[in-house]
Amino acid sequence: EADIYQTPRYLVIGTGKKITLECSQTMGHDKMYWYQQDPGMELHLIHYSYGVNSTEKGDLSSESTVSRIRTEHFPLTLESARPSHTSQYLCASRTGAGGYTFGSGTRLTVV
Amino acid sequence: GENVEQHPSTLSVQEGDSAVIKCTYSDSASNYFPWYKQELGKRPQLIIDIRSNVGEKKDQRIAVTLNKTAKHFSLHITETQPEDSAVYFCAASPYGNKLVFGAGTILRVKS
């Protein structure tokens, strides 16, 4: 089924660890986005990409990086996790000027 | 850049009553206005959207109105039901650009 998939669904990790959150979509969308969201709260844009080898930083300052080597894949990496990174991370994609399709999210806890 | 304000932040209604959520935007170039519903623990889902060449759009119990002159748009839910309880987000963007989201409205439908 065409959709956007995020793994892992839940992650508990120690401070200082490097982690990568995976996001893949099977819809052929060219635009992809990463948002940080505390439960039920505002969506903060972290990074986005308009195509392969294109990445931009969003509005929320974050010690994270992204890559877009393939159209369908847009992983987010935290080089050194901190308790302040504890949150939900949502990946989204869209084609053209339509609405976003969101993934189910990764709930990250840094201890 | 675009800025979207959303009101109210919380809204409680009796089952069967109507609910209205309002958003204002700042960038006159914005021409796409989607609304998302996020149930507890789930991903945001697109429920309705409108483009700037249309003043109103309806889908069963949900309608969205747009006033380009005043730069505001509203979500109307009629005959509310308990399953309408969720967080609702409005968003705006110029053609093809990234969506700018409002801060969200927590809707509670009391039975």
Q: Is A40 exposed, middle or buried (0-12, 13-18, 19+ CB in 10 A)?
A: middle
Reported as a pLDDT band with limits 50, 70 and 90, residue B97 is confident
CA-closest candidate to residue A6, choices A38, A43, A33, A39: A33
Q: Can you give the pLDDT at residue A2? A: 82
Interface test with A, best of B101, B105, B107, B108 (most A CBs within 10 A): B101
**Longest Cα–Cα distance in chain B:** 41
**Per-residue pLDDT at B89:** 98
Supply the pLDDT for residue A1: 78
Per-residue pLDDT tens for A30-63? 999 999 998 778 999 999 999 999 999 998 767 8
Q: What is the pLDDT of residue B94?
A: 85
pLDDT, tens only, B35-87: 999 999 999 999 999 998 889 999 999 999 999 999 999 999 999 999 999 99
Tell me which chain A residues have a C-beta less than 8 angstroms from the C-beta of B106.
Answer: 40
Mean pLDDT of B22-47: 95
Note the pLDDT of residue A61.
62
A100 touches chain B (CB under 8 A): yes
Among B40, B43, B96, select the one facing A102 at the smallest CB separation. Answer: B43
- Cis-peptide, bond into residue A8, ω within 30° of zero: yes
A90 chain-B contacts, CB cut-off 8 A: 43-44
CB contact A52 to B (< 8 Å): no
User: Which chain B residues are within 8 Å of A88, Cβ to Cβ?
Assistant: none
